[in-house]
Structure 1
Amino acid sequence: YAREGNNPRHSKVWFTQHTSSDPTALARAQSKAGPSTFGSIRPKDFTNLRVFHANGHSWQKNTPKILDCWNERPTFPYLNVYSKDELSNRTYWTHFRDKTPSNLAYHLGEDIDPAAFGKLMAEASVILCPSTMEGFGHYINQARAAGALVVTTNAAPMNEFVDESSGVLIGASARGTNGRVMMGDGTEWDVEPSAICAGMDQVLAMTPYARQKMAQEGQRKYFDQLGYFRAQMNDLRDWLRQ
């Protein structure tokens, strides 16, 4: 890459930033078109918090650590977890085989269509994204688009989407990659349950107004990036027509 003359065709790199679809757009469209079947979307409540987390099959979202935290803190706000991985399932039943949590609903293996998923994110006031690593960061970006207060890992690239003005950052320590990753170390991070709990304590210490303003700042930054992406794509098309 650093070798002199390594671009004989004089290729141009076009910086666009990263963008993702807004998952709530389809939900709002369906709610408007069929309110009797799809239902209405509840407004976000930054006083009585609704917390949301989804990881699908991914092991990178630290879902077991979230379950560990909620097991230790039964007074935390109500959390909906949507998961399909076996480690999270084992963790849930380790904690709750003999008791039913009062502040947690664990949805294992449920297939959610895009509109229903968008509705869940539209209604959530807090979305947990304590990732070990991210490929593109779509989940974090979609959480910002949904206007939720995002709680994510204080490490790259997660803290490139969310900073201290637009979300709550969770402490993490770098995990060695043992030469498995071409980019080297600093791409995978360990997040402890205590750090997730500390992040939620920070959320709970805020006023409802402060939570809402922070969530709105994250959403604003999402749309700023979306606007930048569109502008750069228009510039690219103009350049290609030359």
Structure 2
Amino acid sequence: MNIVLFAHPTFLGSASMPRYTQWLADGMAARGHTVRIWAPQPGFHALPVPERLKKWMGYLDQFAVFPRWVRRQMAAQPADTLYVFSDHSLGPWVPLVASRPHVIHCHDLLAQHSALGRVPLNPTGLSGRLYQRYIRRGFAQGRRFIAISKKTEQDLRGFVGPAPTVEVVYNGVNPQFVPAHDITAQRAALGRRLGIDLSRGFLLHVGVNVWYKNRAGVLAMVDRWRRSTPEGLPLLMVGPPPPDALASQRLAMHAPSEVHFLSKVEDDVLIGLYGTATAFLFPSIAEGFGWPIAEAMASGCPVITTDAAPMNEVGGQAAFYVPPGDASAPADAAWTAAAAEVIAKVVALSPLERQLAVDQGLSQVRRFDSESALDRIEAIYRQALAAPAAVRPAAAPQSAT
């Protein structure tokens, strides 16, 4: 196959989507296909303008310059070319290839829900609402999608209706995540590297400062648990530096010195933390898939996550669950107390009980094999290329407008 892979521009500074795009490109190239990555280049964005104008310069590169470039390039592509969008948020470019074979990868619809006023914790301004509508009107013209979870498929149907083909392919977990061979020795080495005593074990969270990652909920549940136990464990929060509200919440905790925010953590350190943590905390309010759940399980770490899709779709019978968080308000006392009880349960597991939990996690995570995911994606790509060309109506269902 000749595959053109539409990607986010690198000047946006995203890390996860470029990795996903490269995973697709490398996987398809390894299977013998020709892959070209098309992405906007920083023309206007590279100009020496005030920082507040950078976003708008980037929009010119993405939505004025790039479409014209795409039209010129399409004229030279072979007839058997498949156009693939690595993310549905590249929707404004979908109309360019809507009448040609194409596949759109969909990760989550959280920004769309927020723009429609469905997430009180994440209000969206006028420009953001207009931008998401622009994206929505674009991807609504798609005919074939790949969703990363059943929850994402369900959400997507609310925007595109029943007509398009939507298939679920779970993300593949990077094979570098494996159980630690000597937890005691690795904790000691990591502790020396980070300057933190990890010898007793520790709790781990990985996530960024967005509403649905529930970082404030992590601090609240750990604080409640810490107040009821004579001896706690360090909490390592891996992600960007905390905003002022989160930093203030930490200072008000029972044992603030035990909470460590770690930024710019190197990959080998993160792998080591997954493999040696006492428990991994992931009480997200919403997700598209929940990569860290699978990464922690693959690393032999018990996972505490939310009993709601798609988190329980990824965790299955192997995870320990806290009640779903309220998307309309921060964590309340009842939720915090229930979540603290789950921490206490996992920390108190006997060696035999813990090994059983680890084994269940390793069994569960086999569902998310990277090579199997790429094989399934390749099969869907072939089906899309072989399907008869037809143009779908551009209108989205009434509920999504």
TM-score normalised by L of structure 1: 0.68
Give 1:189 shift: 9.1
Selected match of 1:89 from 247, 264, 269:
247
2:235 maps to 79
1:225 maps onto 2:377 in alignment: no
Contact 1:24 1:115 in 2 (8 A): no
Within 5 A, what are the aligned runs for 1:103-114? 104-107=258-261, 110-114=263-267
Q: Which residue of 1 is the match for residue 349 of structure 2?
A: 206
Cα distance per residue 1:73-123 (max 9 Å; x no partner): 253333322342213212112236xx654xx23125x31122221121122
Partner of 1:36: none
Residue in structure 2 matched with residue 132 of structure 1 by the alignment: 285
Aligned match of 2:302:
149
Give the equivalent residue in structure 1 for 2:186. Answer: 41
Structure 2 residue identity aligned to 1:54: V
User: 1:52·1:121 contact (CA, 8 Å) conserved in 2?
Assistant: yes
SS of corresponding position for 1:111: coil
Partner Cα separation in structure 1 for residue 269 and residue 366 of structure 2: 22
Q: Scaled by the length of structure 2, what TM-score is found?
A: 0.44
Structure 1 alignment gaps of length 5 or more: 29-39, 178-187
> CA 1:172–1:14 in 2, change beyond 3 Å: closer, same or farther?
closer
Q: Which residue of 1 aligns with 2:127?
A: none
* Equivalent residue number for residue 172 of structure 1: 324
Q: Is the 8 A contact 1:172 1:189 kept in 2?
A: no
User: Does the CA-based 8 Å contact 1:50-1:78 persist in structure 2?
Assistant: yes
Question: Structure 1 residues 208, 49: CA separation in 2 closer, same or farther (over 3 Å shift)?
Answer: farther
Write the letter of the residue equivalent to 1:50. F
Q: 1:112 aligns to what SS in structure 2?
A: coil
3-state SS, counterpart of residue 192 of structure 1: helix
Alpha-carbon separation, structure 2, partners of 1:176 and 1:206: 34
CA separation of 1:59/1:208 partners in 2, compared to 1, >3 Å: closer, same or farther? farther
The CA distance in 1 between the partners of 2:172 and 2:248, in whole Å, is 34
Shift of 1:234: 5.4
Q: Is the 8 A contact 1:166 1:217 kept in 2?
A: yes
- State how far apart, in whole Å, the 2-side matches of 1:16 and 1:144 are: 19
1:187-202 paired onto structure 2 within 5 Å: 192-202=335-345
The separation in 1 between residues aligned to 2:278 and 2:375, in whole angstroms, is 30
1:216-235 CA deviation, whole Å, 9 max, x = no partner? 21222212321642442454
Pick closer, same or farther for the CA change 1:241–1:151 going to 2, 3 Å.
Answer: same
Moved over 6 A (4+): 188-191
- Structure 1 residues 205, 93: CA separation in 2 closer, same or farther (over 3 Å shift)? closer
Contact 1:23 1:145 (8 Å CA) reproduced? no
1:148 offset after TM fit, Å?
A: 0.7
Contact kept, 8 Å, 2:216 with 2:246, in 1: the verdict is yes
Match of 1:50 among 193, 197, 202: 202
Given that 2:250 and 2:256 are in contact with CA atoms closer than 8 Å, whether structure 1 keeps it comes out as: no
Out of 57-66 and 195-204, give the one that drifted further. 57-66
Matched residues, number: 205
In structure 1, C-alpha distance between the alignment counterparts of 2:176 and 2:293, rounded to whole Å: 11
Cross-structure match for 1:32: none
Which amino acid in structure 2 is aligned with residue 199 of structure 1? Answer: V
**Closer/same/farther in 2, CA of residues 208 and 238 from structure 1, 3 Å limit:** same
CA contact (8 A) 2:234 2:260 kept: no
CA RMSD of superposed structures (Å): 3.5
**Separation (CA, whole Å) in 2 of partners of 1:205 and 1:63:** 23
Q: Larger relative contact order (C-alpha < 8 A, sep ≥ 6)?
A: 1
Q: Identical aligned pairs, as a percentage?
A: 20
How far, CA to CA, are the matches of 2:377 and 2:173 in structure 1? 15
- Relative distance call for 1:14 and 1:81 in structure 2 (3 A) is closer
CA distance in 1, matches of 2:338, 2:223: 14
Give, in whole Å, the separation in 2 of the partners of 1:15 and 1:55: 24
Give the deviation of 1:144 after TM superposition: 1.9
Who wins on radius of gyration, i.e. which is larger?
2
Task: Quote the offset at 1:21 in angstroms.
Answer: 2.4
